[in-house]
Amino acid sequence: MKQAIISRLTTLILLLLFGSSLLAQSQDSLFRFRSEGNPIITHKFTADPAAIVEEGTMWLYTGHDFEGGQKGYKMKDWCVFSTTDMLNWTEHPTPLKIEDFTWAKSGDAYAGHVAERNGKYYWYISTNWTGIGVAVSDHPAGPFTDALGKPLLTNEDCFASDHSWACIDPAIFTNDDGQSWIFWGNGECYYAKLKDNMIEIEGEIKQVDFDGFVFEEAPWIHKKDGKYYLTYASGFPEKIAYAMADQIEGPYEYKGILNEIAGNSNTNHQSIVEFKDQWYFIYHNGGMQRDGSSYSRSVCIDKLEYRPDGTIKGIVMTSAGVSVID
Ligand code: FUB
């Protein structure tokens, strides 16, 4: 009886706070699972992880590869998962599909990245050759809607590139002064400021360059102890390399390879976050026993550790994965 009353009260509160869509998610379509080491998700193929941490919860956004046997990247939607302990995970109903972006004629749901600002969640997504778009929601699990009705960035903004898939792989970083930045690209790495509304570019688009920079794709910026870290996929098959700087715009200094080629996958696409006092390296490989490959990838998580001088130790990819957090 007591439980029924609590459940009804919860329903009422969810309805008042978020409306019926989240209520439907909360009652019907959450999928809960435990990660048994790496890959952490085995009921579907997931790629291009991007994580954020919000009040004791890690939200993990991924691409969604088709089943094995593909001859190229085939993705039509994106997924969102959450955990509070790195062992027990919840998959939330598919929050975003390529069809939600009517302008995205390529039909390809490439890598994305979610950023929070002023209580709203902005999901920047890439679409292979029709550009980078942005969807917005009031909740990390969605529902998300196209914020612009057009791309935020297109190949025309990638002034140093002439291949059709140049405008992919957005990564957002908000600095201590509140300024948000977007980094992206394939072959050439671009960056720009975002306006406060997060859906417009402010000022000039610039290009990252430094000695030893061999950039394939998947830029990611994080900051620790006053240092900026730019990690990125380098070469093909990809390794993850990194560089460090004292300012967001550099100059960056190349620091070496952070992760080797990931098993059975040409791509590796990393995300780096601190969660409950531990830094994590989140990436994908082709390691799922059931037909894993470069086009049917799976997200994995291992620890990321720093040396006393701020450089990062080489990632050790494991099948055991990370420990549960108490
Ligand atoms: O998933 C499609 C593309 O493969 C991504 O945009 C790249 O980062 C690579 O992982």
Domains and CATH numbers, the chain: 1-34 (no CATH), 37-85+94-303 (2.115.10.20)
For residue 302, list its beta bridge partners: 281
Q: Provide the CB-side half-sphere exposure for 206 (13 A, CA).
A: 13
- Mutational pocket test of ligand 1: of 77, 124, 132, 169, the residue with most ligand atoms within 8 Å of the beta carbon: 169
- How far apart are alpha carbons 226 and 298 in whole angstroms? 32
Give the mutation target among 269, 270, 284, 294 for probing the ligand 1 site: most ligand atoms within 8 A of CB.
Answer: 269
Identify the pLDDT of residue 95: 86
Give pLDDT, residue 320.
98
User: Of all protein residues, whose CA lies closest to atom 1 belonging to ligand 1?
Assistant: 110
Q: How far is CA 256 from CA 48, 208, 213, 232, 316, in A?
A: 21, 16, 10, 11, 15
pLDDT score at 11: 40
- Give pLDDT, residue 28: 52
Compute the distance from residue 110 Cα to the ligand 1 centre, in Å: 6
How many helices, marked H, and strands, marked E, lie in the chain?
A: 2, 20
* pTM, 2 dp: 0.91
45, 62, 168, best to mutate for ligand 1 pocket (most atoms within 8 Å of CB): 168
Interacting residues of 201 by C-beta distance below 8 A, sequence separation 6+? 152, 153, 157, 182, 192, 193, 194, 195
User: Parallel, antiparallel, or unpaired for β 190-194 and 180-184?
Assistant: antiparallel
Residue 108, pLDDT score? 97
Q: What are the structure tokens assigned to 111, written together?
A: 């890598």
List of the chain residues with pLDDT < 50: 1-27
User: Edge-to-edge strand order for the sheet containing 57-65?
Assistant: 31-34, 88-97, 75-83, 57-65, 45-54
- The residue among 146, 47, 28, 36 whose CA lies nearest residue 92 is 28
Residue (of 309, 304, 310) closest to 322 by Cα position: 304
Q: CA-CA distance, 14 to 324, in Å (whole number)?
A: 29
Task: Give the pLDDT score at 298.
Answer: 98
What tokens were used for 58? 């890690």
Residue 304: which residues within 8 A CB-CB, separation 6 or more? 272, 279, 280, 281, 312, 313, 315
Q: Which residue has the tokens 């990321």?
A: 304
Neighbours of 49 (CB within 10 A): 29
- Ligand 1 residue neighbourhood (C-beta within 6 Å): 47-48, 63, 73, 110-111, 126, 168-169, 217-218, 267, 269
* CB distance 107 to 97 below 8 Å: no
**Residue nearest atom 5 in ligand 1 by C-alpha distance:** 111
- Predicted pLDDT at 282: 99
